[in-house]
């Protein structure tokens, strides 16, 4: 039988054992519960993709408010792009918050901020230039508003926007270069009339052009005409003061049709027949097609402005919590004078 001393020892052992068990139990529950909170947060985040709207998965275009801070109205291409968004909104029945930044980045940034304040469902941003978007894109991101970068690109971190839909500007530049390579196998001197300085379109086209241009073709000068007819005309006039057409240069790479039309005006006014030079433009607008019919452009690299159907569809997918591609490039081609007259009546912009 146990005496009092033994009973006391057993009691002490039981107490120590119970305390150890309790301690283990606490440790075990702490160990299993501690990570549970972040895991639950991760699961919740995974369930609700960025930009998903409260109407998901049944959002329709009626639920969509799309902010479209258009960069300007500098060209026929831009006019067609604006019409594409307005027409799409009317067709689908979503609300379009439209503004025209007149080619000024600060106006675009203010318009984006107003849209964030308004709490739009999505922002479709056609950035006038590549740099300087980080702050406002971060604001949109923090407000939970998805941004689709449209047409030109931005240099901001891709985590700040959901996707980019637009043309491959580098490829357009490469395609233009191929035309010069074919025309001048023995080399030539050419001029470049470039688009808005710092814009994704101008940067990409210039880069692609230089990468693909044969080394025996020299770009003797390059100036910006800011994608407008009005600004391209005096630039071409200044070129003609410096260089003799046909002697000092044999061709011109022009970053869009509007500048090409301005340049043609300047050439004609200076008594130069534009058809005696090799002119390659970009866009494929009706004006560009007419310039090919008239014999002034020898090729027109397509850049398609009708982006709204893809942008609207992607925006609805994002609102409904679906996944989208990070970069959607438009399928494009090169147009030539041979069939310009036949195609001109079919051109919608």
Binding site for ligand AHR (CB under 6 A): 74-75, 77-78, 151-152, 201, 227, 256, 258, 282-283, 303
CB of 231 to ligand AHR, least distance (A): 11
CB of 151 to ligand AHR, least distance (A): 5
CB of 242 to ligand AHR, least distance (A): 25
CB of 224 to ligand AHR, least distance (A): 12
CB of 204 to ligand AHR, least distance (A): 9
Return the number of the residue (92 or 130) whose C-beta is nearest ligand AHR.
Answer: 130
Return the number of the residue (89 or 201) whose C-beta is nearest ligand AHR.
Answer: 201
Nearest residue to the partner ligand AHR, using Cβ: 77
Return the number of the residue (141 or 229) whose C-beta is nearest ligand AHR.
Answer: 229
Return the number of the residue (189 or 210) whose C-beta is nearest ligand AHR.
Answer: 210
Return the number of the residue (139 or 265) whose C-beta is nearest ligand AHR.
Answer: 265
Q: Report the 3 state secondary structure along the chain.
A: CCCHHHHHHHHHHHHHHHHHHHHHHHHHHHHHHCCHHHHHHHHHHHHCCCCCCCCCCCCCHHHCEEEEEECCCCCHHHHHHHHHHHHHHHHHCCEEEEEECCCCHHHHHHHHHHHHHHCCCEEEECCCCCCCCHHHHHHHHHCCCCEEEECCCCCCCHHHCCEEEECCHHHHHHHHHHHHHHHCCCCEEEEEEECCCCCHHHHHHHHHHHHHCCCCEEEEEEEECCCCHHHHHHHHHHHHHHCCECCCECEEEECCHHHHHHHHHHHHHCCCCHHHCEEEEEECCHHHHHHHHCCCCCEEEECCCCCHHHHHHHHHHHHCCCCCCCEEECCCCEECHHHHHHHHHHCCC
């Amino acid at each position: 039988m146990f005496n009092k001393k033994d009973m006391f020892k057993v009691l002490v052992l039981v107490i120590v054992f119970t305390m150890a068990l309790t301690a283990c139990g606490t440790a075990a529950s702490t160990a299993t519960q501690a990570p549970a909170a972040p895991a639950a947060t991760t699961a919740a985040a995974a369930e609700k993709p960025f930009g998903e709207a409260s109407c998901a998965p049944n959002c329709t275009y009626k639920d969509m408010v799309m902010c479209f801070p258009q960069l300007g109205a500098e060209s026929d291409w831009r006019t067609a792009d604006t019409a594409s968004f307005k027409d799409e909104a009317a067709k689908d029945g979503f609300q379009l918050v439209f503004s025209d930044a007149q080619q000024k980045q600060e106006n675009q940034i203010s318009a984006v901020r107003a849209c964030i304040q308004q709490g739009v469902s999505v922002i479709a941003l056609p950035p006038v230039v590549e740099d300087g978007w980080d702050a406002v894109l971060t604001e949109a991101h923090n407000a939970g508003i998805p941004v689709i970068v449209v047409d030109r690109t931005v240099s901001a971190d891709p985590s700040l926007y959901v996707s980019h839909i637009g043309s491959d500007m580098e490829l357009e530049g490469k395609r233009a270069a191929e035309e010069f390579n074919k025309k001048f196998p023995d080399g030539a001197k050419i001029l470049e009339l470039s688009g808005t300085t710092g814009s994704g379109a101008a940067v990409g086209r210039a880069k692609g052009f230089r990468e693909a241009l044969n080394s025996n073709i020299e770009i003797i000068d390059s100036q910006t005409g800011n994608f407008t007819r009005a600004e391209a005309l005096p630039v071409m006039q200044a070129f003609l003061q410096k260089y003799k057409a046909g002697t000092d240069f044999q061709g011109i790479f022009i970053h869009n049709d509007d500048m090409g039309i301005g340049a043609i005006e300047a050439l004609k006014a200076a008594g130069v027949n534009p058809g005696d030079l090799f002119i390659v433009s970009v866009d494929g607008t009706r004006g560009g097609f007419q310039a090919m019919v008239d014999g002034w452009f020898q090729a027109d690299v397509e850049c398609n402005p009708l982006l709204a159907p893809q942008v609207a569809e992607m925006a609805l997918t994002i609102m409904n919590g679906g996944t989208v591609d990070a970069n959607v490039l438009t399928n494009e081609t090169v147009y030539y004078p041979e069939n310009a007259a036949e195609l001109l009546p079919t051109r919608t912009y």
